[in-house]
């Protein structure tokens, strides 16, 4: 117990040390005195057709403290030069989450623009990030049911063969 508790606490504090809190890949760009930060729940290359959780943060570049102004975030995801998602998130900073499934593999860009509704001009920071999405794993997923069906077929054939053999004796 004396060894498990410190290990558990160390893991809990290590997870809290990351600003995005999702534990996956993190993308950042410095824009003036601010940092535009995207966190994901992906530890490897994201896969088309599977949902990805995004967490958007606006941080001060000198202290890495979150900017907690009343803001909204403009999100534009493009593929092949065409916008496939263009939306605004009305946020309660610092919690800003988006779940999105990319329709196909390829190179995408995600442009984030943070706005402050109480300030003029209202744009606080904007940054564009490249995203690479790999092909779907649907072929691998077909192997599992096919293997299961093959095992059932072999079992049925063995049972039939065993029953015929017993009947012949």
Domain with 88 in it: what CATH number? 2.60.40.10
- Tell me how far apart the alpha carbons of residues 58 and 94 are, in angstroms, rounded to a whole number: 8
Question: Which token pair is 169?
Answer: 């004796």
Beta bridge partners of 53: 99
Among 98, 105, 100, 132, which residue's Cα sits nearest to residue 48? 105
- Give the domain range for residue 157: 137-169
pLDDT for position 5: 42
Task: Give yes or no: residues 113 and 167 share one domain.
Answer: no
CA 1 to mean position of chain CA atoms: 35
pTM for the predicted model, two decimal places: 0.65
Would you state the pLDDT for residue 93? Answer: 61
Q: Are residues 156 and 78 in the same domain?
A: no
Query: Count of domains in the chain?
Result: 2
Residue 78, pLDDT score: 96
Q: Are residues 111 and 48 in the same domain?
A: yes
Q: What pLDDT is stored for residue 76 in this prediction?
A: 96
Which pLDDT does position 77 carry in this prediction?
95
- 58 lies in the same domain as 70: yes
SS3 119: coil
Give the pLDDT score at 108. Answer: 95
- Residue-level pLDDT at 10: 41
Residue with tokens 């160390």: 10
Q: Are residues 102 and 142 both part of a single domain?
A: no
- The stretches in the chain having pLDDT less than 70 are 1-23, 70, 93-95, 120-121, 136-144
Q: Are residues 114 and 168 in the same domain?
A: no
Angstrom distance (rounded) from CA 42 to CA 111? 19
Round to whole Å and give the CA distance between 152 and 53: 38
pLDDT confidence of residue 11: 41
- Are 20 and 49 within one domain? yes
Q: Which long-range contacts (CB under 8 A, 24 or more apart) does 76-80 make?
A: 76/110, 76/111, 76/113, 77/108, 77/109, 77/110, 77/111, 77/131, 78/108, 78/109, 78/111, 79/104, 79/106, 79/107, 79/108, 80/106
Residues 125 and 162 in one domain: no
């Amino acid at each position: 117990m004396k060894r498990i508790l410190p290990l558990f606490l160390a893991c809990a504090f290590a997870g809290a040390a990351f600003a995005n809190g999702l534990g996956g890949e993190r993308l950042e760009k410095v824009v003036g005195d601010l940092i535009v930060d995207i966190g994901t729940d992906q530890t490897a290359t994201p896969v088309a057709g599977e949902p990805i959780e995004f967490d958007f943060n606006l941080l001060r570049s000198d202290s890495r403290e979150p900017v907690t102004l009343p803001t909204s975030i403009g999100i534009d995801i493009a593929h092949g030069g065409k916008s496939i998602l263009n939306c605004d998130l009305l946020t309660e900073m610092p919690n800003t989450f988006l779940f999105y499934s990319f329709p196909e593999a390829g190179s995408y860009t995600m442009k984030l623009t943070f706005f402050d509704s109480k300030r003029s001009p209202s744009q606080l920071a904007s940054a564009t990030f490249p995203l690479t999405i790999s092909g779907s794993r649907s072929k691998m997923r077909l192997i599992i049911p096919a293997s299961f069906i093959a095992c059932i077929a072999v079992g049925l054939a063995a049972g039939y063969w065993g029953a015929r053999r017993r009947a012949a004796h």
